[in-house]
Structure 1
Amino acid sequence: MQDLLNELTLVTVTYNSAQVLPAHIASLRETATTAMPRWIVVDNASTDATDAIVAANGNCVEMLKSEKNLGFGAACNLGIHASKTRYVMVLNPDTQLSEAAIDQLLAELKNRDAAIAGPALEPEADKSIVDAPWLVGAVLLFDTQLMNPVGYFDERFFLYEEDKDVCKCANDAGLKVIHCRNVSIPHVGGASTVRNKTVNKFIHFHKGRSYALYARKHELGEKVIEAYVRSNKKRMNFALLTFGVARYARAKAKIQGVNSAR
């Protein structure tokens, strides 16, 4: 990991992620054979035990705390701009790291002169490395020398679509975005924040809002947005017939998100 010390910064974004953060930090600590690279936890004003967890691991991680919840992309930007290395890896706190996987992903990025690389987020039989239109934001490795002129996350996207957007912007600029299926960094998915009815409504509101923002930014046409709204109205009607209270709430929140972006 010696090269990583000088070349790479890790940025983990948290929001009430105390349930998964200890295992996330331990996954790399337990596989590191030497000192670890700089690791910044950007916290979106959590109210759980996140501060205490970072303090307890202060020998390997540091905290950059926001006074309010900025959203995923804006928090990533804070961490990227605070880094001083050429390569920056942004992470969800429900991912499981290893020294070998990080080394390999960085090597693939360099070997292919790519601007962004992402790993397999669950084990795959296909070990190919392919150019990708977009990657899931749970793990994204950036070459800042290539990406600085393009920029990073559009902060209008509070949650969702920001990963698709940054990859499209890189591809549109003629840069390579690669999916390295030969590198495995497992992602639990949906475990970064404790879920309840309020959180679920918030999440689906931003799914709808970000969908509309992305469609308009990249000129996909109003018909695409209208089709999305119609689809969710059908889900609401079906949920009423089947007493699917949670499904009804999710679809309704998405439509409200779309309407907020008009």
Structure 2
Amino acid sequence: MQDLLNELTLVTITYNSAEVLPAHIASLRNSASAALPRWIVVDNASTDATDAIVEANSDCVEMLKSSKNVGFGSACNLGIQASNTRYVMVLNPDTELSESAIDQLLTELKNRCAAIAGPALEPEKDQSVISAPWLVGAVLLFDTQLMNPVGYFDEQFFLYEEDKDICKCANDAGLKVIHCRNVSIPHVGGGSTLRTKTVNQFIHFHKGRSYVLYARKHGLGEKHIQAYLKKNAKRRLIALFTFGGRRYRRAQAKIAGVKSVI
């Protein structure tokens, strides 16, 4: 890890992530054999104990706090802008880090001259490294020297599709995006924020909204958007007649997200 100190910055994005953040920080602290690289926690105006957790770990992480929730991609951009290293890794706070995994992912990125690399988010038998159309945003490693001309996250995506979009933009620019299945950085999934009914509605609203924004940005056509609307309208109707309240609210929120754009 010592060799990484001058060339890597870690950026973890938090929003009311106090339940998972301590384990996230401890996973790397406990596995590191040397001093950690610079590590920035970009917080989207959390109201839970996130600030206190970062303060308690101020020997290895620093806080960059937004005055409001600006969304995942915008928060990533803040962290990337605050870094001063060639390589930047953006992270969800419900990922389990290790010195060896970070070292291996960075090695793959550099050896293959890739602009973006992502690991397996759970251990896989397939140990290949392949070119990918897109990667899940839970862990993304960037070579900023290659990515700076392309740019980073499109801030019109508040939540969802921003990872798919940035990878497509890199691929369209002729850069390499690689999925390193031989590197495992486990991701709990859905553990970044406590899932209340309000949070779930918020999440599915932005799933619908971001779907339309992505479809329009990349020329998928209005037929795709109308098909998405019809699919969720059907799901809503079925949920209504089968007393599936949760499924009804998910479909309703996605429809509302679509309509907020169109």
Q: Which category of TM-score, normalised to the shorter sequence, fits these structures?
A: over 0.9
Matched AA of 2:215:
A
SS in 2 for 1:64: strand
Q: Which amino acid aligns with 1:171?
A: N
Query: Which whole-Å CA distance do the structure 1 matches of 2:190 and 2:261 have between them?
Result: 24
Q: Does 1:60 align with 2:60?
A: yes
Following the alignment from structure 1 to structure 2, what is the Cα–Cα distance between the partners of residues 26 and 261? 41
CA RMSD of aligned residues (A): 0.3
Distance in 1 of aligned mates of 2:261 and 2:214:
10
Q: Which residue of 1 aligns with 2:11?
A: 11
Q: After superposition, what is the alpha-carbon deviation per residue over 1:113-140, rounded to whole angstroms, capped at 9, x for unaligned?
A: 0000000001111000000000000000
* Runs of 4+, deviation exceeding 2 Å: none
- 1:113-132 matches, within 5 Å, as 113-132=113-132
CA deviation vs aligned residue, 1:183-242 (integer Å, no higher than 9, x gap): 000000000000111000000000000000000000000000000000000100110111
Instruction: Return the alpha-carbon distance in structure 1 between the equivalents of residues 240 and 198 of structure 2.
Output: 20
Residue 154 of structure 1 aligns with which residue? 154
- Code of the aligned partner of 1:119: P
Counterpart secondary structure, 2:5: helix
Matched residues, number: 262
Q: CA deviation at 1:94?
A: 0.1
Q: Provide the secondary structure at the position in 1 that maps to 2:253.
A: helix
The TM-score with structure 2 as length reference comes to: 1.00
Partners of 2:259 and 2:154 in 1: CA distance:
20
The answer for the alignment partner of 1:78 in structure 2 is: 78
* In 1, Cα distance between equivalents of 2:32 and 2:163: 28
Name the residue aligned to 1:222. Answer: 222
Deviation at 1:3, TM superposition (A): 1.5
* Matches of 1:117 and 1:150, distance apart in 2: 16
Q: How does 1:85-234 map to 2 (within 5 A)?
A: 85-234=85-234
What percent of counterpart residues are identical?
81
CA distance in 1 between counterparts of 2:196 and 2:52 reads: 23
Segments of structure 1 that go 5 or more residues without pairing to the other structure are none
- Paired residue type of 2:60: C
Partner Cα separation in structure 1 for residue 146 and residue 164 of structure 2: 18
